[in-house]
C-alpha cells in the first residue's frame, strides 16, 4: 500500500553542505541514501503533525550520537510519484516512517533522481528553540 498523494514527507538533513540558506533550497546530497540501504530514502509522513512533533521525531528516531539535525526537506508524496518513484510505509522505527523507492544504484541515474527530489523539496531550518 502506497502513501497518499497529498501526504507531506519529511527527510532530515545533517550537513549544512546539503542545503543553501541564501537560496532557500535543498541540495541533492541531502538525499544520498545510507550505504546500508542504497536503494531507498528514509522519510516520515508528517502531514498530521505540528512543527514541534516533526522535530521531536527527528530528535528521537533519526538523530545519531553527536550528529545533529540542521534542517529538513519537506516534499509531497504526489510530487515523488510524478518523478516515477514510490513511497511505501515502513512503520519501523516509528509508525509514520516510510521509504522512497527504488533509488537507482548507478551513480549517474541516482544523481538525476536525487536532483529531482531536491528540486521538489522545501527547505525548513531547525528553529532556534529546538
SS3 assignment, position 66: coil
Burial of 60 (0-12, 13-18, 19+ CB in 10 A): exposed
Cα dist. 10→105, 106, 109 in Å?
22, 25, 23
What pLDDT score does 3 carry? 93
With a cut of 50, list the residues of the chain below it in pLDDT.
Answer: none
Measure the CA–CA gap between 58 and 22, rounded to whole angstroms.
24
Phi, psi of 10 (to 5 degrees): -125, 130
The overall pTM is greater than 0.75: yes
For the chain, domain boundaries: 8-125
The answer to whether the CB of 3 falls within 8 A of the CB of 87 is yes
Amino acid at each position: 500500500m502506497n502513501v497518499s498523494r497529498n501526504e507531506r514527507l519529511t527527510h532530515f538533513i545533517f550537513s549544512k553542505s546539503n542545503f543553501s540558506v541564501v537560496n532557500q533550497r535543498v541540495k541533492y546530497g541531502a538525499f544520498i541514501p545510507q550505504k546500508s540501504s542504497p536503494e531507498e530514502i528514509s522519510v516520515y509522513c508528517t502531514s498530521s503533525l505540528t512543527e514541534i512533533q516533526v522535530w521531536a521525531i527527528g530528535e528521537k528516531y533519526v538523530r545519531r550520537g553527536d550528529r545533529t539535525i540542521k534542517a529538513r526537506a519537506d516534499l509531497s508524496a504526489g510530487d515523488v510519484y510524478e518523478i516515477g518513484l514510490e513511497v511505501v510505509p515502513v512503520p519501523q522505527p516509528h509508525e509514520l516512517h516510510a521509504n522512497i523507492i527504488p533509488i537507482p544504484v548507478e551513480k549517474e541515474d541516482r544523481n538525476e533522481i536525487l536532483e529531482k527530489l531536491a528540486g521538489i523539496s522545501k527547505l525548513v531550518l531547525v528553529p532556534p528553540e529546538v
